[in-house]
Each structure stands twice: as structure tokens, then as C-alpha cells.
Amino acid sequence: MSHWMRRLHKWVGLILAVQFVLWMSSGVLMSLLDSKKVQGREFRIKPPAPAEWPRNVLAADAILAASADKVMAITSGWLLDRPIYRLQNDKRSWLVNAADGTGVTVDANLALDLARASYSGPGNAGAPSLLDFTLETRAHKEPVWRVDFDDADDTSVYVSSRSGAVLEHRNSTWRLFDLFWMLHIMDYSERTNFNNPLLVSSAIGGLWMALTGVWLLFASIRLAEFVPSRWRRSRTVNLLDQHGTSQRSIDAVEGDTVFRALARSGLQLPSNCGGGQSCGLCEVRCVGKAPEPTSADRALLSPQKLAAGFRLACNLPVKRRLDIDIGNTLALSSERVGLVTGVKPVTPFLREITIRPNQLLACRPGSYVQVHVPQYSRDASHVNIPPDHHEDWRAVGPLSALANDAPVRRSYSVSVPVEQAGWQLTFLVRFMPGKKPGRGSGYMYTLKVGDEVRFSGPFGDFALKEGSGEKVFIGGGAGMAPLRAMIHDLLAKGAKEPLHFWYGARSLRDAPYVDEMRAFAAKHPNFHWHLVLSEEEGMADVRSGFVHEAVQEGLLQTHPDISSLEFYVCGPPAMLNATRAMLSSLGVDDVNVAYDDFKI
């Protein structure tokens, strides 16, 4: 459960983070604004004390007696230098001249005089405009006259069209404050409602984030971690090979994870997340009775692997003596060194990089190595872009700075069998400018011939099955690499079974090794190459659409026995998930589907 809660916590936090930033930034900015200007007091003249009520005006009783409308309230006052009575009932309010009882209308000229009388600034008044409603006087539900003054603060004076009262002085500082206020309370219509659904939902979301954060904190902490290791019981982790023969014993203490215990002994399991239970690379097989799988195990490992005893080493506590199979122990303990022998752009954003190890290295098609990416900081000039790719790079925006603040490891599949490449490692690396570059791809794209690269491996269980069953390869993006290595291997060994390779890309410029695959198809009758483009149409021998849909329509719907096919799938997460869902909907057994999800 903690794995899914962690993912949900991350995405909810990402959504709420925008509003948290708005809350904090708007609060800070509102506090920095001049409160006198925000309140409209900078150029507003305080009304003078009421003058003595003249004796020669009509009495209130006379005004009431002369009124044709029912009057519920009457008050006396001044409109500039004119004494007036304000009358009100349940339907309207109106003004009457106290001297002669005639009605007084607040027209444009009177509104202009009233606005000027309340203003002491240097600006000149413009022509009044009558507004039925404006957010700048939202507290007053009545038509108002707006008079704009051409001062530096763009002051506007609002006069009631009914009572003649000067309601508000607004300026550019208030308008900026009002914008921040709207963002702060999340009321994007009237800017007054603290109980609007958006604010309530965000507040509930923030509370949920706090509570789940505390829960995840306690779920991620083991009590043993607070006990010094010298006080904990000693345990042993036995490393076995695939035949059950012990290769090495590792000393551990109770409360350690297998990942941490191995790292302390110099055996660094593959990991892109550093033991954070998110990449799934550090899988090990428990020999004997395996502990119950955790939510992270179930999320990142297939049911078949779980049943076979595989668990994530970063989530496998050492509570007793453990016997585990971690595969090639030598590969874990060895840091290898190689020299870059070739850097070749294959497409605008896919680059082939060739490395010669300092010693011969057996590397099965489908396996990967982990490149040790050092700490670095480089500018964009380190990336060599061929002239015919300049337009593609410019179209996606400027290249961001390339940097990595701490050493990490990144996985890259071998794209050609090493024995066919002069015992060199050939990688296909994807890079996308315009966004925050990946730490691994940023490093790989700045490599030049002669540079030294450190790596570990090979690793991985993505491999061809034994036998001569009909095979279907489905790929996209850098997923071309392991599938290409498998096809090279099969054709070089004279495989006779039907081989289908379906590869998806956005456009022809994004598709690598097209000529090579067409040449394979022309030379080997059993190899069938299908290129599928999602953003281009009308080309001969090229299908349009999404690759998983093209496979279904072009092969699987008409195949006499889908259950006899072996599927090998590798590509971006969205393509991989869609393809696996499609195969599952057709009833393809998971045993017949091998895939590599890049572990990202």
C-alpha cells in the first residue's frame, strides 16, 4: 500500500504545489504593497465636517407629505454645497433638494464634480462613464459613475448614481493587490468568497498531504534504523548462483535491507532510484521460503516473478539468514572502464555511442549495463549537433544547462551483439532538448571519441527464449536498442522461424536504422519489417497510427494461432503499457510476453 500511497502523494503534491506557491507568493507580495495606496487614501480628501443645517429649507415632514412614493427612511445631508434629503423605501432610494423639494439626479456633470471634490492628486479628470457593475466596487450593488484621473497611479473615483456618495478610490496598486488577493483565496469570480469549492478542496488536499506525509514517514522508517548497528543481531546473506551453489556470504545486521547490506560489502545492485523502491532494477530471487511481497514488490514485479520468489532488494529486510540469487556477482562487484570509440547521430534525438571495454565482455542480446554518471556541469556547446539536425533542435526550444550534482547510475541496453561489433558496446541514447535534460543522457550526449567511461554489468533478464517459435518484436524510441540486438543475433545464427518487427515513431526522421531493417527484410525472407508513424501518412510500406494498434490490425487479427507467438516489447512507458494491455485483451498469456520497461 505504501508504494501506491507514495505515488498518489507525489501526484497530489505536484498539483497542490502550484497553489501552495500561489498562496505563499501572493501573501508575500500583498504585504509588500503600500497599504495607504491599497486603501485608496493617497489622494482621497476627508469629507469636511457637516455645516450647520440651513433654516430656510423645507422640513422633513413637508418632504414626506409631498412624496408620491411610500418612504421608509429619510436622512438629511449635503451634496457638495447643496442641502438634500435622501429618501428610501424597500424598492429604491432617491434624492430631493431640501430647498425646494425637487428631485436631484446624479448625472455625469454632478458625478464629475463630486469626484473632483474628493480628489487631491495631480491628475486631470476624464469623462465619467456609468457602469451597472464592476469588480472594483463589488461591495456596492448599485450602478456607479466611474471617473478616471491621469495620474501615475491610474486613479479611478467611483460615485454612486443614486446617493451621490463617493464609494471608492481605486488605483494600479489596489488592482495589483486585488489580483494577488484573488489568487490567494482562489475566488476567481467575485473575489470575496472564502468558502468557495476550490479553496475548500485545496485546504482538504493540503491536510491530506500532511497526514499521508506523516504516515509515509513512519511507513518508510524501520525501528531498527534507530538502534546502533553494533547493538543489533548479526545476520548472514548467502549469495547463490542459478545452480544453488554458494558464491559468497555477506555479513549483515538485523534491520538492514539486502540492498544496503550488499552495498556495504562492495556489491552495488543495479538501481536508477538509489534504493527508493521506484525503479525495480534491484530485484533478487529468494531461495527457499520468500517473505510476503510488499506493495512495491507487487507494483514493480510481475506475478510470475513474485511466485518464483523475486523481491526488491531495497525493500527486503534482513530479519534472518537469507539465501538469495543475485545473478552475476562478479558484475556487481566490478567497475569496468571503457573508451568511447564512436559517436554517431542516428536521428535528431537518438545517438549511437560505441565504447570499447578494457577487457572482453560477454553481453547477451537484451541485457544492459549501468553507466556510472559522474558529477558534472557543462554548457550547451558540449553537444555536437550536425547541421542537418539544427532545425529539429531549434523547433523544440533552447538547450538547457547540462548538470549533475551527485554521481548516479543509468541503464543503457546494448543494441548490437558485442561479438558482431568487435567486442564493443553499442548504445542508443535518447535526448530531448527544451526540457530539463536527464542527468544520464546529458552526460552521454557530451561524450567524445577518446573519453573514458566507467560502468558495471551486464545485467537484466530481458532475453530471447530458447526454441524456434514465431517471434513478434514491438518497439518505440530507444526501445529499438535491445530488440535490434536480438534480431541481429537471430539472423546471424541463421534463424528460420518468422520474425516480425513493428517499430513506432512520430515521423520518418525520428525512426532509427530504417535502411538497415529494410535490408534485413530484403535479404531474409523470414524477417518482416513494419514501420508505423503516428504523425506522418501517405508513404509506401509505412503504416500510420500507433504501433500497438497497427500490430493488432496488421498481424494479430488475422493470425491463425496467437498463442504460439512469442512477444518481445520495449519502448516508452505509454507505448509499453498500451501494448501490454492490447495483448492481454486478446488473451495472450503473460508467459509469452517478454518486455523491458527501461525501469524509469
Domain map (residue ranges) of the chain: 2-37+178-220, 60-177, 229-327, 334-459, 471-596
Three-state SS for 278-342 is CCCCCEEEECCCCCCCCHHHHHHCCHHHHHCCEEEHHHCECCCCEEEECCCHHHHHCCEEEEEEE
Give the CA diameter of the chain.
120
pLDDT value at 135 more than 50: yes
**Predicted local confidence at residue 355, as pLDDT:** 93
Measured between alpha carbons, how far is residue 286 from residues 239, 246, 277, 292, 311 in Å? 10, 13, 17, 11, 7
Q: Looking at per-residue confidence, does 173 or 398 come out higher?
A: 173
The average pLDDT across 141-153 equals: 93
- Categorise residue 189: left if φ over 0, alpha if ψ from -120 to 50, beta otherwise: alpha
Per residue in 451-477, pLDDT (tens digit) is 999 998 788 778 888 888 899 999 988
Is a pLDDT exceeding 90 seen at residue 169? yes
pLDDT class for 221, splitting at 50, 70, 90? low
**C-alpha cell of residue 429:** 541514447
**What is the average per-residue pLDDT within 126-137?**
92
Q: Higher pLDDT residue, 166 or 17?
A: 166
Q: Which is higher by pLDDT, 139 or 269?
A: 139
> For residues 367 and 460, is the Cβ–Cβ distance under 8 A?
yes
pLDDT category, 502, cuts 50, 70, 90? very high
Predicted TM-score of the model (pTM)? 0.58
State the amino acid at position 585 in one-letter form.
S
Burial (CB count <10 Å: 0-12, 13-18, 19+), residue 538: exposed
SS (H, E, C) 383-394: CCCCHHHHHHHH
Range in 56-65, 220-229, 456-465, 489-498 with the lowest mean pLDDT: 220-229
Give the three-state DSSP class for 141: coil
Amino acid residing at 397: G
All cell numbers assigned to 538: 501517405
pLDDT higher than threshold 70 for residue 578:
yes
**Is residue 209 over pLDDT 90?**
no
Q: What is the pLDDT of residues 272-301, one digit of tens each?
A: 666 566 667 777 888 878 778 877 777 777
Angle at 547 between CA 543 and CA 552, to 5 degrees: 90
| The dihedral sign for the CA sequence 10, 597, 502, 347 | positive
- Match 558484475 to its residue by C-alpha cell: 331
d(CA 293, CA 282): 14
Query: In angstroms, what CA-CA distances link 598 with 123, 326, 460, 595?
Result: 66, 19, 11, 9
CB 135 within 8 A of CB 90: no
Q: Do domains 229-327 and 471-596 have the same CATH topology?
A: no
> Residue 367: how many CB atoms within 10 A of its CB?
22
pLDDT of 3 higher than 60: no
Under a CB-based contact definition with an 8 Å cutoff, are residues 446 and 379 in contact?
Answer: no
* Confidence check: pLDDT of 329 > 60: no
Residue 2 pLDDT exceeds 60: no
Q: What is the pLDDT of residue 278?
A: 67
- Consecutive H or E run containing 199: helix 197-220
Q: Is the pLDDT of residue 588 over 70?
A: yes
pLDDT at 67: 86
What is the dihedral sign for C-alpha 549, 552, 555, 558? negative
13-36 mean pLDDT: 82
What's the CATH number of domain 471-596, 3.30.110.30, 3.40.50.720, 3.20.20.100, 3.40.50.80?
3.40.50.80
Structure-model confidence comparison of residues 289 and 176, the more confident one? 176
End-to-end CA distance of the chain: 20
- For residue 147, is pLDDT > 90? yes
**What pLDDT, on the 0 to 100 scale, is given for residue 220?**
58
Per-residue pLDDT, 267: 72
Which long-range CB contacts under 8 A does 92-99 form with residues at least 24 apart?
92/162, 93/162, 93/163, 94/162, 95/162, 95/163, 95/164, 96/63, 96/67, 98/54, 98/57, 98/58, 98/63, 99/54, 99/56, 99/57, 99/58
Q: What is the pLDDT of residue 600?
A: 45
State the Cα–Cα distance between residues 199 and 536, nearest whole angstrom. 44
Cα 172 from chain centroid (whole Å)? 35
Q: Are 470 and 348 in contact (CB under 8 A)?
A: no
Three cell numbers at 472? 513478434
∠ CA 585-590-593, rounded to 5°: 100
User: 169: closest CA among 271, 314, 265, 36?
Assistant: 36
The pLDDT of residue 274 is 60
Closest CA to 257 of 297, 300, 216: 297
Spatial CA neighbour of 503 closest among 523, 481, 474, 524: 474
> By C-alpha distance, which of 294, 264, 266, 262 is closest to 278?
294
At 155 the pLDDT is: 94
How far is residue 533's CA from residue 557's CA, in Å, rounded to a whole number? 20
Cα(147)–Cα(155) distance, rounded to whole angstroms?
A: 9
Contact 479, 366 (CB under 8 A): no
Residue 564: CA count within 13 A, CB half-sphere: 9
Over residues 371-392, the pLDDT tens digits come to 898 888 877 767 788 888 888 7
The per-residue pLDDT for range 378-431, each reduced to its tens digit, is 777 677 888 888 887 777 777 767 877 888 888 888 999 989 988 999 999 888
Cβ-count burial 472-492 (b if 16+ within 10 Å, e if not): bbbbbbbbbbbbbbbbbbbee
Instruction: Report whether pLDDT(568) > 90.
Output: yes
Provide the pLDDT for residue 223: 52
| Residue 433 scores a pLDDT above 80 | no
Q: What is the pLDDT of residue 489?
A: 92
Q: What is the 3-state secondary structure (H, E, C) of 423-468?
A: CCEEEEEECCCCCCCCHHHHHHHCCCCCCEEEEEEEECCCCCCCCC
CATH 3.40.1350.10 fits 334-459, yes or no: no
> 352 near 346, Cβ under 8 Å?
yes
| CATH fit for domain 229-327, picks 3.30.365.10, 1.20.1250.20, 3.80.30.20, 3.10.20.30 | 3.10.20.30
- Report which DSSP code applies to 378: E
Tell me which of 553 and 329 has the higher pLDDT.
553
Q: Would the pLDDT of 344 be above 80?
A: yes
pLDDT of residue 383: 77
Sign of CA dihedral 585, 587, 589, 595: negative
Strand intervals (E) in 185-301: 234-240, 246-253, 283-286
Q: What's the mean pLDDT when you consider all of the chain?
A: 83
Asked whether the predicted pLDDT for residue 222 surpasses 80, the reply is: no
